[in-house]
Amino acid sequence: MKFNKTTLPLAAAIALCLANGAHATTFDLETASVTDIQAAVDAHALTYEKLVKLYMARIAAYDHQGPSINAVITLNPKALETARSLDAEFKAKGRRSPLMGIPILAKDNYDTADMPTSGGDFLLAESVPYADAPTIKQLRDAGAIILAKVNMDEFAHGGVGFSSRGGQTRNPHDPRRIPAGSSAGTGAGLAAWFAPLGLGSDTGGSIRGPSSANGVVGIKPTNGLVTRNGIMPCVLSFDTGGPMARTVYDAALELGFLTGVDAKDPLTRNSAGLFYKDYTQFLKKDSLKGVRLGVIRDLNGTDPEVDRVFNASLEELKQLGATLVDPVNLPAAAIQARYTVMEPMRAEVQDNYRDYLGTLRPGFPKSVTEIAAKGILLTSPTGTFVPHPSVFTRFKALGERVPTTSLSYTSAKLHGMAAVQGAVLGLIDDQHLDALVYPTRSKRPEMIDPNTPNIVDRPPTPSLNFIANVTQFPDVIVPAGVTSDKMPVTISFFGPAYSEPKLIGYAYSYEQATHHRVSPSTTPALPGEHFTY
């Protein structure tokens, strides 16, 4: 090294650090957890403004360029301003919470008072709610930054990540494939590391499908643990919001900022005394020792590559001290619930949307019938809006369904859900299980079909995700490996109501021992994302 007047003080400083036993720390945005980010901020090696700029650079490089992931619907125009304000606050007062300054991708069905909330629909592209959803407010009160609203299946119908407002979101692991849905933009955006944290919602697998297809962590909480207030509804009896993230720790951390009793959502009263504000306290690397897990293989044989990864994950669970009861079979009542319970209860959609649309500003549709009528008129692209006739055909049919006063609905609501809950709890009880484990998705993400907007009756992907919605039980998803063509596979830890502390602990123990999350080759690191301090 050639020394001069500039380098001598630096060399002296390095020598002094080494003499004092200090050591350099490497920061890598690709692997950085919330804890890593805050440590770099504490060391004055990173600011929240710089952090937001790093993520915005990734969005600029990869969302509409490069692989064209197409996850972002609205980039928060005040994100940098908010970050600068938080930097000033941190300098003056210290850290507000562990989420201070952390960017979050919010699914576009969460109400945000400063950005449109459209549910992916072109008719609501300019609909700015009067107030933030309570979950958004709680995150903002903690100092988190809503970096972007991201694409979803329109009105959470479809499962492939397509909307008339956002078009088709792509899977960053293979942009020819779907990212699954309906929280498509959140899953794809996290995989491409557009942010460390995200928000999804789940009616029949909409957090878990995209978490699995994109190889990230997701938590579908017990229904009632997180308020549904301020989240555009689908079937409220099954709906829940929940966290998605790149690590189990971060998802657990985020969950604590979403919980609480909300007077405007009566279901949250059930969580009183059962929710926590800090779920990271349950994260222990030896959580799987002595645990009895029931192995669900009901959909084995759908995709041999998924089966191979799942079988390897079971061996890893055994090595970590878990006892496997393999297999256990889900009761018929649970398997059939997709048709016997979920289908009749779709009658809720028209009532739920009438109530939600009634909270919007003047000038927007007020019913599913009106949405369908106006949506069907979009027959060719208009500006950035793309026709999605299949969604509006479904909504037209929903407007004509039997009402929630029908016998089929009331029977499913009052008796069907309870029967499935009892059947699953009976299985857990009979086998003395702590939880159930299964492959979150039974097969790799499908190739994108250019005819997607016109497909009304797409055959559902074989899945067991809906059982957690019918029972209202929690399900925690963690990466388990990749297929031969580098597509991620995840496993789900599924258990009784309010068993999140245990399930998150199992997922953390597995994650820390295996580190199976992989980054897509299509969205590599950019300059400035890796540095030493």
> Catalytic annotation on 107?
yes
Q: What is the pLDDT of residue 21?
A: 52
Residue 141 included in any domain:
yes
- On whether the CB atoms of residues 488 and 424 are closer than 8 A, the answer is no
Q: Please list the rounded mean pLDDT of every run of 10 residues in the chain (533 residues).
A: 43 47 88 98 98 98 98 98 98 98 99 98 98 98 99 97 98 98 98 98 98 98 98 97 98 98 98 98 98 98 98 98 98 95 95 96 96 96 96 92 93 97 98 98 98 91 96 98 98 98 98 98 98 98
Report how many domains make up the chain: 1
Interatomic CA distance for residues 170 and 188, integer angstroms: 7
Tokens matching residue 396:
């037209």
Residue 399 included in any domain:
yes
> Catalytic annotation on 212?
no
Interatomic CA distance for residues 398 and 143, integer angstroms: 40
Crossing angle of helices 34-42 and 248-256, rounded to 10°: 80
* Helix, strand or coil, per DSSP, at residue 162: strand
* Cβ neighbours for 334, distance < 8 A, ≥ 6 positions apart: 420, 423, 424, 467, 470, 471
Residue 209 included in any domain:
yes
Q: What is the pLDDT of residue 22?
A: 61
Residue 211 included in any domain:
yes
Residue 532 included in any domain:
no
* Cβ neighbours for 195, distance < 8 A, ≥ 6 positions apart: 55, 103, 104, 105, 147, 148, 189
What are the residues facing 241 on neighbouring strands? 201
- Measured at the CA of 198, the angle between CA 194 and CA 199, to 5 degrees, comes to 145
Residue 377 included in any domain:
yes
pTM: 0.95
* Helix, strand or coil, per DSSP, at residue 233: coil
Q: What is the pLDDT of residue 151?
A: 98
β-strands 72-75, 103-107 pairing:
unpaired
Domain of residue 174 covers 28-520
From the list 182, 212, 492, 499, the catalytic residue is 182
From the list 107, 220, 443, 502, the catalytic residue is 107
Q: What is the pLDDT of residue 400?
A: 86
Tokens matching residue 91:
């300098």
Burial of 35 (0-12, 13-18, 19+ CB in 10 A): middle
Peptide bond into 182 cis (omega under 30): yes
Assign residue 39 the CATH number of its domain: 3.90.1300.10
β-strands 197-202, 240-245 pairing:
antiparallel
Residue 73 included in any domain:
yes
Question: Shortest CA distance to 240 belongs to which of 418, 427, 471?
Answer: 471
Q: What is the pLDDT of residue 458?
A: 87
From the list 206, 313, 463, 492, the catalytic residue is 206
Question: Shortest CA distance to 220 belongs to which of 415, 500, 462?
Answer: 500
> Catalytic annotation on 163?
no
Tokens matching residue 37:
């980010």
Residue 433 included in any domain:
yes
DSSP 109-141: TB--TTS---TT-GGGTT---SS--HHHHHHHH
- On whether the CB atoms of residues 284 and 508 are closer than 8 A, the answer is yes
Interatomic CA distance for residues 92 and 281, integer angstroms: 29
